[in-house]
């Protein structure tokens, strides 16, 4: 069993800081453990299910997109409620879709 796990990369992860905030809060996102130099499709879905952000970003040499490259500042015209961050990319040779939530209070 140990030999089967040897050499495998960690699973892709998605982090959001903070997870709650008022209008004006800057939400920082970090995607980790994807394949280096690969494109990630990134989108944010508002509480009314409308997509308010859509972009393609390239991971660094470690397979990450860090806090500084991926963040959004909420404004007064953002709806209060739960937002969904969706990241799609390659990890361990497979296409992975990750979702995390943050809330504007």
User: pLDDT tens digits for 51-93?
Assistant: 999 999 999 999 999 866 556 778 888 899 999 999 999 998 8
Q: How crowded is residue 89: how many other Cβ atoms within 10 Å of its Cβ?
A: 25
Better-predicted residue by pLDDT, 29 or 66: 29
Architecture of domain 2-104: Sandwich (2.60)
Q: Where are the domains of the chain?
A: 2-104
Encoded tokens for 78? 């953002």
Distance CA 97, CA 104 (A): 23
pTM for the model stands at 0.84
């Amino acid at each position: 069993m140990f030999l089967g796990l040897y050499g495998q990369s960690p699973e892709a992860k998605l982090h959001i800081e903070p997870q709650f905030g008022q209008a004006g809060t800057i939400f920082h996102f970090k995607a980790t453990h994807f394949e280096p130099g690969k494109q990630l499709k990134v989108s944010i879905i508002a509480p009314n299910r409308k997509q308010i952000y859509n972009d393609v970003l390239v991971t660094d040499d470690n397979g990450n997109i860090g806090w500084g490259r991926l963040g959004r500042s909420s404004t007064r015209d953002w709806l209060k409620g739960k937002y969904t961050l969706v990241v799609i990319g390659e990890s361990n040779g497979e296409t992975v879709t990750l979702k995390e939530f943050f809330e504007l209070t």
